[in-house]
Amino acid sequence: MIEYDELLTLIPHKCKMVLLNRVTDYNQEEKTIETEYDITDKCIFYDTEIAGIPAWTGFEFIAQSVSAIIGLTEKAKGKPPRLGFILSLSQIQIDIPFFKSGSTIKIKTKETENVYPIIYYTGEIFIKNEKVFSGRLTVMDVDDEQQNILSGGL
């Protein structure tokens, strides 16, 4: 298990943009990760009218899980976390309108194809072992020089 403080060393996200609380499982060979997030009013996407987070934001939880996979891979090489860029979302299925405050979501993410620098991931979000969100995420990995150029404009 990787708790929040260590998780912060693996992803480039900071402050309210961190949408993961912990890594509960990781397999580098299979390129899979399981993460969790506790839904509270501290989340940047929290909506007081629904007392939760709109479910369409599920792709961002999956994206941050992807970021954690990349961070763990880079850490194994002795390198800091890197930026990745979302190119597309597809095959999105949302079965609930929002993630209710007080619940914990489990995010399961897997790399399915790597045509470097384009990498494909599938992700699923569960609440109490019930799948409530799924989708496919396409990201572009960038080398150090590209990262410096791209992050300079952020």
Provide the pLDDT for residue 16: 83
Q: Tell me which residue of 18, 99, 19 sits closest to 54, measured CA to CA.
A: 99
Paired residues of 37 in beta bridges? 105
pLDDT < 70 stretches in the chain: 143-154
Q: Distances in Å between the alpha carbon of 36 and those of 33, 58, 61, 87, 133? A: 10, 12, 9, 24, 14
Domain ranges of the chain: 4-152
Q: Please give the backbone phi and psi of residue 129, each rounded to the nearest 5 degrees, phi first.
A: 65, 10
- CATH class (in words) of the domain with range 4-152: alpha beta
Share of the chain above pLDDT 90, in %: 80
